[in-house]
Amino acid sequence: MNGNPLPTLIITCLLACMACFSILLGEGNVLANLFLYLMIGGSVLAFASPRAGFLLCLISSGYVDLVKRLMIVSDRVQMIDLYYILGFPPVVFMVSILALMVRGFSGTVKVQRWHVVMWGMACFISVANGALSLVGAEGGFGRAVQDMANGAYSMMLFAMPLLYARPDDALKIFRILLWIYLPVAMYAIAQGLWGFRDFEILYLQSGYTIEIKQLLTDRVRAFSTLNSPTSLGAMSAAMMVLPWMLWRSVRTNGRRHLSFMEVLLFTPLFAGALLASTSRSAFVIVIVCIVGSLCFRSRLGTRLFYGFAVLSFAGLIASATYLQDRLEDTTESLIAMAGSRVSEDALNVNTFSDRLQGFAMVLSNPEAYTWTGYGPERGTDPSDPLYNHDLLSNILVRYGAVALAIAVLLGVTFLTFGHRQLLAIQDLRQRRIGAMMLALVCGMVAISITSGNVLNIFPVNILFWIAAAAAVIAVRHQPMGNKEQPKASMTPQMHPPMYPMSYHGTPAAGYRPLHPSQRALSRPHFPKA
């Protein structure tokens, strides 16, 4: 313990110098080489401290795409370089999971049976993601690995209850996320006001992103440091409503998780980022989060929420053709009322045509209902009669009615089980936390059903699984006051008598009862002869 630290220091300095020379003088992209060594160092840190690796994954999730953008500006870029950049968050996170598993096997971390169940469920989700992608017509093995990495974030269900056992600790993660993504929101507002920078134009022209379509339009859809306006819109909508949720929740010591001044700081900035992304469908997350967090606290409110949601969705499918024919007139009316170009971009509802087409041409079309589907290549081309943009239509067209029925059945089962566990929580404060987290999960599922799947888009999937894990923590955590205490016996305990007894078991003649304190301090009183 008290040995000479000089050899260790010398070896560390030599390794650092070798890394610097390799980064600066080696072949390939400088940023990619840097992130290769950062990935190695981050993995070592994650194995030594899983919580530090978890936080490092969260911090990098908001900015790795910006690093990729800067890397592409260089003239030395290979596909392997992209894996070094984009692979940093999942690799560090999975090393943290491995460290927790090792600690669980060694007994350092207490792993219960339900933790193992969560681990098995996450493994199934990750493997299923990769298998469905591998069956697909596009992407091949590389795309399957990427989808498996996206599905691996479901390991939050296993990791977070071990790292943050209390609901108050889990809510601290959301407070940290707000500060991590605050610069993302500010950069999105700057893009919306002043447009893209030169290096971002080069990035759009590079061919490494599908956002090249933005160069063909006369408007700017901000994507900030993330990979697309869709992910920016979903993250901004969730971050816009999170401050209100945290301010409404109270810790065990009576203090709020977020101050009112922080609410006034975060909410307008993330609302501005949401407007800059021009993602109008992301407002579904805001609505579902607010309404769900209020309704999920009671059984009646939960039934009213889902009853209204099912009726609304059925009405949307039935009226999809009618609404699709009137989108252009509605857009012109809204623009005429607003009267500015910014409002024109924000109020243009013609983009909902693709979503409504899926409802009109797929879910309400008998020809779309087959047992095994038409294959992964169908429904992706806008000229295809079965073109769709929502999660349910996508499953139906590609994999068939059987897969859709299984997906719906699993979703209903998990939601029913989750709500039953939530309503069984006796602590009202803890139930409120679980309701907020479950509402956030339902908000992201709702936008995937109505406006396109975002559950497999990075970093939206990270926030989704963190919210799901926080809901699990709220359900499984047992407050100290609710733990079983040894019950006091109702039968009186028989103690040795404090006075002399007669032969028949009654007080001796002439006995005068003493006060308990007097019995403890004075000598025994005996009757006179």
| pLDDT tens per residue across span 11-32 | 656 666 665 655 555 566 777 7
pLDDT category of residue 391 using cuts at 50, 70 and 90: confident
Q: Does the pLDDT of residue 179 top 90, yes or no?
A: yes
Lowest mean per-residue pLDDT among 162-176, 187-201, 204-218, 343-357: 343-357
The better pLDDT of the pair 70, 490 is held by 70
Q: Does the pLDDT of residue 184 top 90, yes or no?
A: yes
Question: Exposed, middle or buried by CB within 10 Å (0-12, 13-18, 19+), for 475?
Answer: buried
What's the pTM? 0.80
pLDDT value for 371:
79
Q: Does the pLDDT of residue 191 top 50, yes or no?
A: yes
Q: 236: closest CA among 201, 271, 186, 262?
A: 271
pLDDT category of residue 528 using cuts at 50, 70 and 90: low
Rounded Cα distance between 171 and 150, Å, is 23
Dump the DSSP string for 209-266.
Answer: -GGGGGGGSSS----TTSS-HHHHHHHHHHHHHHHHHHHH-B-TTS-BSS-HHHHHHH
Q: Which parts of 310-368 are beta strand (E)?
A: none
Q: Which residues pair with 90 in a beta bridge?
A: none
pLDDT value for 486:
44
Q: Average pLDDT in the 366-377 region? A: 74
The better pLDDT of the pair 321, 176 is held by 176
Lowest mean per-residue pLDDT among 89-93, 182-186, 189-193, 218-222: 218-222
Q: Does the pLDDT of residue 471 top 80, yes or no?
A: yes
CA distances from 386 to 281, 320, 411 (A): 21, 15, 24
> Do 35 and 77 form a contact (C-beta atoms < 8 A)?
no
> Do 473 and 419 form a contact (C-beta atoms < 8 A)?
no
CA distances from 501 to 493, 505, 510, 514 (A): 18, 6, 11, 15
Q: Average pLDDT in the 298-308 region? A: 90
For 250, phi then psi, to 5°, come to -125, 140
pLDDT value for 358:
65
Rounded Cα distance between 489 and 312, Å, is 56
Q: Which tokens sit at 344?
A: 């024109």
- Count the Cβ atoms, other than its own, within 10 Å of residue 510: 11
Rounded Cα distance between 215 and 283, Å, is 26
User: How many residues are listed for the chain in this entry?
Assistant: 529
Q: Cα 288 vs. chain centroid, distance in angstroms?
A: 15
Dump the DSSP string for 183-218.
Answer: HHHHHHHHHHHH---HHHHHHHTSSS-GGGGGGGSS
Q: Which residues contact 522 (CB under 8 A, 6 or more apart)?
A: 514
Q: Average pLDDT in the 218-230 region? A: 81
pLDDT value for 402:
84
Residue owning tokens 């999660």: 391
> Do 300 and 443 form a contact (C-beta atoms < 8 A)?
no
Q: Which residues pair with 507 in a beta bridge?
A: 501
Rounded Cα distance between 243 and 181, Å, is 13
- Count the Cβ atoms, other than its own, within 10 Å of residue 525: 15
Rounded Cα distance between 377 and 359, Å, is 19
The better pLDDT of the pair 398, 156 is held by 156
pLDDT value for 277:
86
Residue owning tokens 């869709």: 230
pLDDT value for 139:
54
> How many Cα atoms are found within 13 Å in the side-chain-facing hemisphere of 398?
19
Rounded Cα distance between 200 and 98, Å, is 37
pLDDT category of residue 228 using cuts at 50, 70 and 90: confident
pLDDT category of residue 237 using cuts at 50, 70 and 90: very high
Rounded Cα distance between 367 and 36, Å, is 50
CA dihedral for 394, 400, 405, 407, sign (positive or negative): negative
> Do 92 and 39 form a contact (C-beta atoms < 8 A)?
yes
pLDDT value for 447:
86
**Percent of the chain whose predicted confidence (pLDDT) is above 70:** 71
pLDDT value for 132:
74
Q: Which residues pair with 492 in a beta bridge?
A: none
What angle do helix axes 167-180 and 50-61 make, rounded to 10 degrees? 40
Q: 165: closest CA among 155, 173, 154, 153?
A: 173
Omega before 459 cis (within 30°)?
Answer: yes
Lowest mean per-residue pLDDT among 54-58, 102-106, 143-147, 274-278: 143-147
Mean pLDDT (the chain, rounded): 77
The better pLDDT of the pair 378, 331 is held by 378
